[in-house]
Amino acid sequence: MKKQIIAAAVAATMTSVALADISITGTTKINYTNSEYDSGKTDNAVKNETDLKVVGKNGDTQVVISIEADDAADNADAAVAAGLDLEDVYMTTKVGDVAIKVGDWDNGNNFIRASGRTNNQLQLNTNVGPVSLQYNSGHQASDDKITVGTDLGPVAVKYVKQNSTNSTSTARYEDYELMASTNIQGVGIAYHLDSNEAANTDRTSLELTGKLGEVGVKFVSIEADSAASADGDTWAGDFEGTTSGGYKKQLGADIMAVEFATTMAGNTVKWIHTEVEADTNVSSTADADNNKFIITRPLASGATFEATYTTMDVKGDTANSGDTLDLELSVKF
């Protein structure tokens, strides 16, 4: 009997060791939205969204698996009837001074471009003195790019060189991105240029961040040439893939946004104003003014409550102008 007890204790210990380097984190959000448009139309919707991240580690090597589990009505992938979608799957490790990342992952958002997931990627990172080097390669030549970063005094600079293919032809272009950021007496300054050889496809963003007393302030100006569009999903607005409303992705449109944020009685309070100036030389465009009022409060239960009230005024478009109330209950684990 004693041997059985000892064996069970050893087995339990081995199980805990085997699971010690595996972590699961995630977020679940439940949203109720009510929209009333100037045309008289009213929409009500309830949706849920869950994201899980599984990380397994062994020394300097780890594997990351990201899973999206939304209600089926919100999942754009027709093949995922139940709303379950396997997203990022990649491994990171090191060989000497070179960090290696291999697999499928999303490149994230910024002000001027939407995120995009590339499968079967290879990423190599290393440092040569004060210079950081990164090489990315996908399964197409247009995925290849080289990133060089360094500090020039107080200014952090990053340069990205990549190949791309014009969507209207098979001609290959050499494009580049330039990013620079610094902080001057408490004011953060970040500049991003996306320059392309294809005609009229350059985009830029300039962001300023700082504080006025207890109020956090952000400002961004985003400009796109007539054959390009700013379609990122950031604090300035969700323009990624949006086809209507005040945050519609538009060719040649310029965007200006400002955010004020502070805390009041345990609540985080934000006001975000976003203006979209359409390019009058491009058809099917319209100016838009958007305002978001956001109140966020952590609850004693561990959940977080957030109320967002959005007003959209799209010039000459009553069907997409109106007000939306979004009530969200979320939890991180």
Closest CA to 93 of 84, 79, 103, 78: 103
pLDDT of residue 5: 52
**Spacing of C-alpha 43 from chain mean position:** 26
Rounded Cα distance between 328 and 314, Å, is: 25
Is 304 within a domain?
yes
Which structure tokens are listed for 20? 């010690």
pLDDT of residue 40: 93
Torsional sign, CA 137, 140, 143, 144:
positive
pLDDT of residue 167: 45
Q: What is the pTM of this model?
A: 0.85
Is 140 within a domain?
yes
Burial class (CB in 10 A: 0-12, 13-18, 19+), 288: buried
> Average pLDDT for consecutive 10-residue bins of the chain (333 residues)?
50 50 95 96 94 95 93 52 80 97 93 90 96 87 84 97 61 80 97 93 97 97 96 95 92 97 96 96 91 98 98 95 97 96
Query: Residue 322 maps to which CATH number?
Result: 2.40.160.10
Measure the CA angle with vertex 190, ends 249 and 252; round to 5°: 25
pLDDT of residue 72: 59
The alpha-helical segments, DSSP class H, found in 241-318 are none
Is 116 within a domain?
yes
Is 13 within a domain?
no
Measure the CA angle with vertex 14, ends 11 and 20; round to 5°: 140
Is 296 within a domain?
yes
Q: What is the rounded end-to-end Cα distance, in angstroms, of the chain?
A: 40
Is 184 within a domain?
yes
Rounded Cα distance between 296 and 299, Å, is: 10
User: E strands within 76-144?
Assistant: 84-95, 98-106, 117-128, 131-137
Closest CA to 301 of 269, 329, 259: 329
- pLDDT, tens only, 197-210: 889 999 999 999 99
Instruction: Work out how many domains the chain is built from and give that number.
Output: 1
pLDDT of residue 10: 45
Q: Write out the residue range of the structural domain in which residue 225 sits.
A: 22-332
φ, ψ of residue 260 in degrees (nearest 5): -120, 130
Is 242 within a domain?
yes
- pLDDT, tens only, 136-172: 987 665 568 999 999 999 999 999 998 765 544 455 5
pLDDT of residue 82: 54
Is 16 within a domain?
no
